[in-house]
Structure 1
Amino acid sequence: MSDKPLRDQEGNLVLPVALSRRGFLVRAGAVGLAAMPLGAFLAACSQNPGASGANGEMAKLRKGGTVTFAIDGTNGVLDPAVYTTLGDWMGVDCVCRGLTTIDFDSTTPKMAMAESSKLSDDGKTLTLTVRQGITFHDGSPFTAQDCVRSFNRQLLDADPSRPAASTRPLRGSTNRSVTGVRAVDERTFEISLSQPDLTFLSRLSDLSARIVSSAALDKYGTGIGQHLVGAGPFKLVSAVPQQSITLEAYPGYFGGSPLIDRLVLQQVTDPSSLNAGLQSGQITASSFVAHSAAKALSANPKVTVYNTPRRDAIFLLMNTTDPALADIRVRQAINFCIDRAQIAQNAFFGYADEPKGYLLPSSETGYDESLADLSAYDVARATQLVTSAGAAGRAIELIAQNNNWYPKAAQILEANLKAIGLAPAVKLYDPGTFSSKVFDLKGHQLALWERNGYVPDPEDLVNNMLSSSGSYATRGTGHATLDSAAVGQLDGLLVQGLQTSDAAARKSAYSQAQRFFAEKFMAISMIGHCQNIVVSSSEVGGVNAAALSSQRMLLETAGFKE
């Protein structure tokens, strides 16, 4: 086991990101590409007329055309500092890019708006050289100062460009180890860390760490979400709440101009309308297709249904600060009463697995089936816990979204809670309203939620969901406010997973952390891991379905077949 940062011969950080079984094979076969310049590599991917389509077939793709992509919803706010809906977040993904990127064919982070990185000998200072020649959509040149501005608007409490409603995801996820940032010069961005963190380069690819034009922040201030300016493959044309986000290809994109001319992210909340739109061609693609429609769509030659991993974590957030849930016995009872097999079959139509590895799906390195007992189904035990806590007949409110699989899963959960003597009430909300409640401890008791693997590493689920500095602990469950000694012990276990490059040691640390959390806090009840159904027109190729299965919008490689 080694705790020293790994570096290549030039001193650049080599991140020991855990690989999925498939990712290991992909990486092993692609080692020879490591020295290829990013621009040439991305250009080869996006401009190659023989780009792969679904299932690895080769198809020539033409320039031009409009892709209409169905999303869950939009509040018309595209800001890396504000989470509203997945649709808005996907819009951010198109408009802005970060210092690093992950393509989801491999779990290894690559340089993007940065061209190189170096880590100090003590592992506490990361220096990135930013790429020359990048221009934002507003024509302003990209410098290290833009990185400072984009980071500090989330990290610093007094930044005037951050909206009052900001969820500050950079501060909660990426910033666990950051003590400060500075621009050494126009091309050098320095990040100071409180401790060595070998997953940091990977987390820099997260949407919260996207770089925004400083000139645009000066111009629009807190209203940047309606006027987002980045250096990504698509530039924002308009964003109409509850309707659509319209984007145009940016010819100056540093990875090569996208093949399509226009991308419209269209809100479609009705599953039947989405299904019909895909079959008629009015909708080009979506990653929000109902699981109930997947098999029927697979038989339609006009569309392609992609085989993607089951990485989307489904769970209940339990508000430990609410009096109804303050007793851990009540939270344990809720966890034991959930019929996960029924939810997997009836809400996800078989496109979901039970959580035998607690937070981590079976495809993730660090998956540990010895944690299966943490998600056991035991109604008798749950009923006994409710009785011993004096909670029989206690009213409990469960909130969920009103789209896709949520209503059916909430219906099953309601029956499960009634079966152990609780008195549940279910409230369904549109995605935009729901997102304002799920990370507000005054907005929910129980919240049915999901987390897509934006960064394909066990850290993305385990640390983000359990760490006391994250949004889940502070705003979703409130467990950061519980016993300070236990919270500190949990954080210590999580840090071990960040500081070692040994896969077995990382697995051990994360397994210990998950069991400790479940036994001491039980503030998150895992329901399963599902497959997001990704579908496109059969006339489209070059779709990065692996990224879309995690709601990552890497559509610059997509185009219409000749």
Structure 2
Amino acid sequence: MVFAQAQDAVTLDPHLATDGFSVNNTSNVFDTLVRYKVDTTAVEPSLAESWTVSPDGLVWTFKLRSGIKFHDGTPFNAEAVKFNYDRQVDPKNPYHTGSFDYAEFTFQNVKSVEAVDPLTVRFILSARFAPFLINMAMFSTGIASPTAIRKYGPDFFKNPVGTGPFKFVEWVEKDHVTYEANKDYWAGRPCIDRLIIRGIPDNTVRLLEMERGSVQMMDQVNPPDYDRIRSNKDLVLYTGPGLNVGYLAMNTQNPPFNDRRVRQAVSYAVNKAALVQAFYGGIAQPAKNPMPPTIWGYNDSVQDYGYDVSKAKQLLAEAGFPNGIDTELWWPNRARPYLTQPQKIAEALQQQLSQAGIRAKLVTFEWGTYLKKTREAEHPMAILGWIGDNGDPDNFLYVLLDKDNAKIGTS
């Protein structure tokens, strides 16, 4: 089967992945201790067949499945779980070669991990942490072969070895990754023998490949093509509630966006309802919270900024910019669930902002470079987004807004 997405993977190491394109790959190679049930964020056993928690909530003990082997034939056990944890959180660990951006979030409040016996592993927390168990189902906690990590060192990101349903075969970078079925998979042999994940940047081109039969599955369809798919008896369109949010990031470290009034002016200048209607087929909804309404704890009483060009101009003048500002608007050149048609949306934003005197030059980069530059806070304004990892509001509020992550170099 050939699955087409908008971008090739950046990495095949689950501990280093921060983008959905990479995760679509790693999730087929690596298993986690627990996993999400189909169509929910409730967890069920995976590599761990059961678990208990102490009355004070500080000690989580997992009983592991027996007889599981990594794709290289080495055994999965408690020492492998501890090895993977230590690699991510200990900067002095010889295999801590990378940024491991998710580790601080995923293992928040985890003080240590102990291999009690070959099939028992214990996580010791410094304080109760409500999302701990669902975090253990996140892609970034995928268990990799310690032998393979030692063998490949910093090149493990292109030589992945896990316990998952598919084994890595080859990676032709910027084109495709090939996998073969793990015939001995503990949860049952996959129903397909071979999986190829291709990067095809243009949504329309991906759909054409589907219609020709050279691709069997794709994501991120242009909303205007929904009816075209529905009318084709050979294609099926799957839809569901979104677990993501798109946003416009403004760099508050540098003028003019260090002035709150300028940031507010941008908010008033953007007509979100018009963008939803024009580029999302009317199925999205304007965001007024940093998390989507599908997440529990969503506060629908929050009052959104209205679309008010005059108010935007007034705020710019109060901030000392009566003639407006010149800046840059960065946009990612790859479609995302929260950004169906990147260039067209960026151009529409540019036009809307210009009505308020915010003259923005459009700038884009290759996907990996875009992520790196925005992490390093090189952008004035940038279109970004967040796809929920675990269904918990902490995954949005902490990751996007907490001071731990409001620093250069974080995702």
Match of 1:277 in 2: 209
1:14 alignment counterpart:
none
1:213-254 residue CA offsets vs partner (Å, 9 max, x unmatched): 101111011111110101111111111211001111111212
Q: Report Cα offsets for 1:242-279 as digits up to 9, x if no partner.
A: 10011111112121110100110011112221111111
Percent identical residues = 30
Q: How many residues align?
A: 405
Report the CA distance shift for 1:303/1:200 in structure 2 as closer, same or farther (over 3 A): same
Q: Which one has the bigger helix percentage?
A: 1
Moved more, 196-205 or 376-385: 376-385
Contact 1:76 1:240 in 2 (8 A): no
3-state secondary structure, aligned to 2:236? strand
Does structure 1 residue 130 correspond to structure 2 residue 60?
A: no
Q: Report SS of the residue matched to 1:208.
A: helix
**Alignment RMSD, CA only?**
2.0
Taking the aligned partners of 2:262 and 2:252, their CA distance within structure 1 comes to: 10
CA distance in 1, matches of 2:304, 2:80: 44
- 1:304 aligned counterpart, secondary structure: coil
Change in Cα spacing, 1:189 to 1:276, as seen in structure 2 (3 Å) is same
TM-score by length of 1: 0.68
- Deviation for aligned residue 1:383: 2.0
1:73 matched to 2:4: no
Instruction: Decide whether aligned partners of structure 1 residues 205 and 477 sit closer, same or farther in structure 2, where only a CA change above 3 A counts.
Output: closer
Q: Deviations over 1:474-516 (max 9, x none)?
A: 34799xxxxxxxxxxxxxxxxxxxxxxxxxxxxxxxxxxxxxx
Partner in structure 2 of residue 246 of structure 1: 178
Q: Distance in 2 between matches of 1:74 and 1:192?
A: 37
In structure 2, the residue matched to 1:511 is: none
Please give the secondary structure, in 2, of the residue aligned with 1:474.
coil
**C-alpha separation in 1, matches of 2:352 and 2:197:** 36
Measured in 2, the distance between the counterparts of 1:412 and 1:77 equals 32
- Matched with 1:313 is 245
Residue 264 (str. 1) matches residue 196 (str. 2): yes
Structure 2 unmatched runs, 5+ = 336-340
The structure-2 alpha-carbon separation of the partners of 1:232 and 1:396, relative to structure 1 and needing over 3 Å to count, comes to same
> 1:140 maps to which residue?
74
- 1:214 correspondence with 2:214: no
Shift of 1:167: 4.5
- 3-state SS, counterpart of residue 294 of structure 1: helix
> For 1:454-493, what aligned pairs fall within 5 Å after superposition?
454-470=389-405, 473-475=406-408
Which of 367, 386, 393 pairs up with 2:316?
A: 386
Please say if residues 153 and 161 of structure 1, whose CA atoms lie closer than 8 Å, have aligned partners that are also in contact. Answer: yes
Give the alignment's TM-score, normalised by structure 2.
0.92
How do 1:279-358 residues align onto structure 2 when only pairs under 5 Å count?
279-356=211-288, 358=289
Aligned mates of 1:301, 1:104 — CA distance in 2:
26
Partner of 1:45: none
The letter of the residue matching 2:133 is L
Highest relative contact order (Cα 8 Å, sep 6+), 1 or 2?
1
Among 41, 44, 54, the alignment partner of 1:110 is 44
8 Å CA contact 1:346–1:408 kept in 2: the answer is no
Please state whether the residue corresponding to 1:323 is helix, strand or coil: coil
Give me the whole-angstrom Cα distance separating, in 1, the residues matched to 2:89 and 2:305: 36
Q: Is the 8 A contact 2:18 2:101 kept in 1?
A: no
> How far, CA to CA, are the matches of 1:128 and 1:71 in structure 2?
35
Q: Pick from 406, 417, 432 the counterpart of residue 353 of structure 2.
A: 417
Amino acid at match of 1:381: K
Partner Cα separation in structure 1 for residue 250 and residue 116 of structure 2: 44
C-alpha displacement of 1:158: 2.3
1:169 equivalent in structure 2: 102
1:430 aligned residue? 366
Task: Report the alpha carbon displacement of residue 75 of structure 1 after superposing the two structures with TM.
Answer: 4.6
| C-alpha deviation, 1:377, in angstroms | 2.5
CA 415–477 in structure 1, closer or farther in 2 if over 3 Å, else same: farther
2:331 pairs with 1:369: no
